[in-house]
Amino acid sequence: MSEEKVYQVPADIAAKAHVNAEQYAAMYQRSIDDPQGFWAEQAETFLTWSKPWDSVMDYSFQADDLHIKWFQGGKLNVSYNCLDRHLATRGDQVAIIWEGDNPEEDRKITYRELHAEVCKLANVFKSRGVKKGDRVCIYLPMIAEAAVAMLACTRIGAVHSIVFGGFSPDSLRDRVLDSECKLVITSDESVRGGRHIPLKKNADTAMLECPNVETVVVVRRTGGKVEWTEGRDIWYDEAIAAASAECAPEEMDAEDPLFILYTSGSTGKPKGVQHTTGGYLVYAAMTHKYTFDYQEGEVYWCTADVGWVTGHTYIVYGPLANGATSLMFEGIPNYPDMSRFWEVIDKHNVAIFYTAPTAIRSLMRAGEEPVKKTSRKSLRILGSVGEPINPEAWEWYYRIVGDERCPIVDTWWQTETGGHLITPLPGATALKPGSATRPFFGVVPALVDPAEGTLIEGPGEGALVLSRPWPAMMRTLYGDHARFADTYFRQYPGYYFTGDGARRDADGYYWITGRIDDVLNVSGHRLGTAEIESALVLHPHVAEAAVVGYPHDLKGQGIYAYVTPMSGIEPTDELKKELVAMVRGEIGPIAIVDIIQWAPSLPKTRSGKIMRRILRKIAANEIDSLGDTSTLADPTVVNDLIENRLNK
């Protein structure tokens, strides 16, 4: 082992685990030597199919012949796999524990109850003209109805597109239009940290420019006042009360689309990542079981929002396919106080807890006391996701939250990958704080020298690519297969390019170093610099803007904007405030610009391309390593930017 600190697998965990170290090695080898046989077995083990597939896998990673297909010809239904097939054996088991923002509010929903509610909503969707293949937008807070809506879509073969409840009306509009949704489901308001947010009002604003939306279903969450569009809007509770609880599951092809989820890229507008039915669900179920070593009867809690892929795969689809009890939390980590997470763990006997480094870092600031006053005895496994976890946060999570008993699975993956790709398995993998460790079954990561395009063998650092498909990988970008090919397969021919950089150590462990494209990761949320720049230049006083990330103690990355005002415009603090508000208004509260530096001009090459490398260095206050500036059209521009830099 290399010089980093290593935590061996605890003996008690290994003894009970689904996969120990020897089994991991053997299964991994098999998944590489005989992928067809391996995945056929997994698909049979984890899911119930109404018709077996004709071929396990067929793919090409060549940009000009790009296609990825799994279990072609196989037929199944996702809601059947997540609900119906459990009814005989676990109908009365709790499927979802809902914990409200207010600690006094909670709700337990059994598999039987969830099944009935899903069928009813599916019938409501049908009665409003939603058919197989139609798109439905889900714009809901973290309430059980979000899971119901997802599963109701899958019941009838509709494709859901969830828009995170924190996104602005403009972001919602863009996504609804891009995927041509005909129905939107939202709630009167959402509740977070005791505050009410007017979700229906946002949806109404977005709908002004979405003429194809025929129906807006409104869940009554708070009873807050809402505007009503007669003929278009219907109350969820009233519609459900009138609907039948019988709804036969639509038989879907393994490669039929399951959902679209928008995510930010390095250029242009967010792209609609499209996942399909069979492969996604096999992989969701399998990774949920093995990565978290989920054991029958355990309460499992993933703190993500269903608006992100983590919520899709690891609150709803993976856990429910496995018949697990999944906790869904409406609130935030610091409300009513800094002990909330740990109180919830004690209240519901949570065994597996999966959260983001940004949450851990902010809780760490409150010290040990809010953690230590709780028991956390029920905890067995901890997980981390969304961004690289710094070793200090890892150690705190391990020592203070897990009492040095609970392995931490640091799971690396992406919206595009559908499920975990590089992650420890609790019973199999020795841990190194800050490393996502080793690939999951069937996954073949590789590192490429970004300058030479050559493969790096052994220890080294480079662009992280994947050599082979896995069942849950995205199939295309909704409506834009060419962009799919260009974004992920053009740069390193024959490989899927992740956008991340990584280092591989002498033990073959992977250490994700972060994005190496123009994508930011702010508090585990992905934002494109191009999106933020477009929002900034909407302001009439802005001539030009360039946005980069910089290291931020709490958020991982902060947003640093260089802004050139229109000539004759006085750059004031007032204007800065307007710009911050502008970006927030355009994208949503996750997009808060931290620093705005006025830039008389931006460093550009002679062909007019902004040299972001230099802007990143200045924002990070690393001015000794600016690199070559001689190719700039006007190298003196840099001096002004250095002199007036704001992160010193």
Q: Is residue 609 classed exposed, middle or buried when 0-12, 13-18 and 19+ CB atoms within 10 A define those classes?
A: exposed
DSSP one-letter string for 192-233: ETTEEE-HHHHHHHHHTT-TT--EEEEE-SS-------TTTE
User: Looking only at residues 522 through 541 of this chain, which bind ligand WT7 when binding is defined by CB under 6 A?
Assistant: 526
Considering the complex, state which of residue 500 and residue 594 has its C-beta at the smaller distance from ligand WT7.
500
* 393 touches ligand WT7 by CB under 6 A: no
Q: Is residue 120 classed exposed, middle or buried when 0-12, 13-18 and 19+ CB atoms within 10 A define those classes?
A: buried
* 412 touches ligand WT7 by CB under 6 A: yes
Question: Are 257 and 280 in contact, with CB atoms under 8 Å apart?
Answer: no
**21-33 vs 35-46: helix crossing angle, rounded to 10:** 120
Q: From the CB of 264, what's the least distance to ligand WT7, in Å?
A: 8
Under rule CB under 6 A, how many of the chain's residues touch ligand WT7? 24
Considering the complex, state which of residue 186 and residue 521 has its C-beta at the smaller distance from ligand WT7.
521
Q: How far apart are CA 58 and CA 70, in angstroms?
A: 7
Region from 101-109, 152-160, 161-169, 380-388 binding ligand WT7, contact rule CB under 6 A: 380-388
* 387 touches ligand WT7 by CB under 6 A: yes
* 286 touches ligand WT7 by CB under 6 A: no
Q: From the CB of 419, what's the least distance to ligand WT7, in Å?
A: 9
* Among residues 141, 249, 323, 386, the one that binds ligand WT7 under rule CB under 6 A: 386
* Among residues 77, 161, 263, 564, the one that binds ligand WT7 under rule CB under 6 A: 263
Region from 113-121, 159-167, 185-193, 493-501 binding ligand WT7, contact rule CB under 6 A: 493-501
Q: How far apart are CA 537 and CA 464, in angstroms?
A: 33
Q: How far apart are CA 169 and CA 138, in angstroms?
A: 13
* 433 touches ligand WT7 by CB under 6 A: no
Q: 647: which DSSP letter?
A: -
Region from 153-161, 378-386, 483-491, 545-553 binding ligand WT7, contact rule CB under 6 A: 378-386
Q: From the CB of 487, what's the least distance to ligand WT7, in Å?
A: 13
- Closest to 556 (Cα-Cα) out of 446, 643, 434: 434
Q: For the beta carbon of residue 40, count every other beta carbon within 10 angstroms.
A: 17
* Among residues 394, 413, 440, 470, the one that binds ligand WT7 under rule CB under 6 A: 413
Question: Are 111 and 91 in contact, with CB atoms under 8 Å apart?
Answer: yes
Considering the complex, state which of residue 117 and residue 517 has its C-beta at the smaller distance from ligand WT7.
517
Binding mask 595-634 for ligand WT7 (x = CB under 6 A): ----------------------------------------
List residues forming the annotated binding site: 192-195, 310, 334, 386-388, 410-415, 500, 515, 523, 526, 537, 539, 542, 584
Question: Are 142 and 305 in contact, with CB atoms under 8 Å apart?
Answer: yes
Considering the complex, state which of residue 202 and residue 263 has its C-beta at the smaller distance from ligand WT7.
263
The structure tokens listed for 265 are 């890229």
User: Looking only at residues 301 through 340 of this chain, which bind ligand WT7 when binding is defined by CB under 6 A?
Assistant: 308-310
Question: Are 168 and 586 in contact, with CB atoms under 8 Å apart?
Answer: yes
Question: Are 334 and 340 in contact, with CB atoms under 8 Å apart?
Answer: yes
Residues lying near ligand WT7 in the complex (CB under 6 A) are found at 263, 308-310, 384-388, 410-415, 436, 498-500, 512, 514-515, 521, 526
